[in-house]
């Protein structure tokens, strides 16, 4: 049995690698590689429970507010917000240029839908309880049909 070796000059391999890298489109240099560990269970923010999902969701989705590197809240989909003097009412003002990936504008109704879906028992979100401090949050979770008119 004999082994056949190919004798390709080392310079040829380097030239080929350099040619391939230089011929790639400019946008390919902007690829984000995330060492995420395990595969995500789901990318649905209202159903996921794990850290791998949370990492990806922070990269894929934008909430009303975001978190700066120093931990302070900064504008996200909402360009600004106001808090009532008694701290019980938060008013968010959506960015005029906030868009979904298909180009449709993000609306206040989209935000309301997401909160209602999170609290709806049919969604079975394990973290719905985190929204119970919202006015009627826990009541909606238990009996959404009784609060259909609540905005």
Asked, for residue 17, whether it belongs to a domain, the answer is: no
Taking CA atoms, 112 is separated from 32, 39, 83, 116, in Å, by 31, 30, 18, 6
Low-confidence ranges of the chain (pLDDT < 50): 1-8, 10-12, 20, 151
DSSP β-bridge partners for residue 74? 66
pLDDT for residue 60: 87
Taking CA atoms, 13 is separated from 5, 16, 20, in Å, by 15, 5, 11
Task: Domain count for the chain, please give it.
Answer: 1
Asked, for residue 27, whether it belongs to a domain, the answer is: no
Query: Interior CA angle at 1 toward 12 and 6, to 5°?
Result: 5
pLDDT for residue 75: 96
Asked, for residue 37, whether it belongs to a domain, the answer is: no
pLDDT digits (tens, 9 = 90+) for 40-50: 889 999 999 98
pLDDT for residue 102: 93
Q: Minimal CA–CA distance to 47: which of 141, 146, 120, 138?
A: 120
Asked, for residue 117, whether it belongs to a domain, the answer is: yes
Asked, for residue 107, whether it belongs to a domain, the answer is: yes
Asked, for residue 15, whether it belongs to a domain, the answer is: no
The CATH number given to whatever domain includes residue 73 is: 3.90.76.10
DSSP β-bridge partners for residue 67? 73
Domain that residue 55 falls in: 42-147
Asked, for residue 47, whether it belongs to a domain, the answer is: yes
Tokens of residue 90, six digits: 């938060």
pLDDT for residue 96: 95
pLDDT for residue 27: 54
- What is the Cα–Cα distance from 16 to 18, expressed in whole angstroms? 5
Asked, for residue 18, whether it belongs to a domain, the answer is: no
Tokens of residue 20, six digits: 């391939």
pLDDT for residue 5: 47
pLDDT for residue 144: 59
pLDDT for residue 1: 47
pLDDT digits (tens, 9 = 90+) for 131-146: 988 888 888 876 656 5
């Amino acid at each position: 049995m004999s082994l056949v070796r190919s004798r390709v000059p080392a310079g040829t391999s380097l030239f080929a690698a350099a040619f391939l890298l230089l011929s790639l489109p400019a946008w390919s240099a902007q690829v984000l590689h995330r060492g995420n560990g395990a595969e995500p269970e789901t990318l649905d923010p209202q159903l996921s429970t794990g850290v791998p999902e949370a990492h990806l969701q922070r990269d894929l989705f934008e909430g009303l507010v975001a978190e700066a590197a120093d931990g302070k809240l900064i504008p996200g989909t909402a360009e600004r917000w106001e808090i009532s003097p008694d701290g019980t009412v938060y008013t968010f003002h959506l960015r005029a240029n906030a868009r979904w990936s298909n180009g449709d504008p993000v609306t206040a109704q989209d935000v309301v839908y997401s909160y209602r879906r999170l609290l709806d028992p049919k969604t079975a979100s394990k973290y719905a309880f985190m929204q119970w401090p919202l006015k009627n949050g826990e009541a909606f979770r238990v009996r959404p049909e009784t609060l259909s008119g609540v905005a």
